[in-house]
Amino acid sequence: MNTKLYTVIYVVLFVSATVQVLVEFAGLAYWTAFALIIVLSAMKAVLVAAYFQHLRWEPRSLTYLIGIGLAAALALTFAASYSIL
Directed axis angle between helix 30-47 and helix 3-25, to 10°?
170
Site membership for other proteins, residue 70 (CB under 8 A): yes
Q: Considering only CA atoms, which of 51, 24, 26 is closest in space to residue 38? A: 24
CA distance 52 to 38: 20
Using CB under 8 A as the binding rule, whether residue 8 contacts other proteins is answered as no
Interface positions with other proteins (CB under 8 A):
1-3, 6-7, 10, 13-14, 17-18, 20-21, 24, 30, 34, 37-38, 40-41, 44-45, 48-49, 52-54, 57-59, 61-62, 64-66, 68-70, 72-77, 79-85
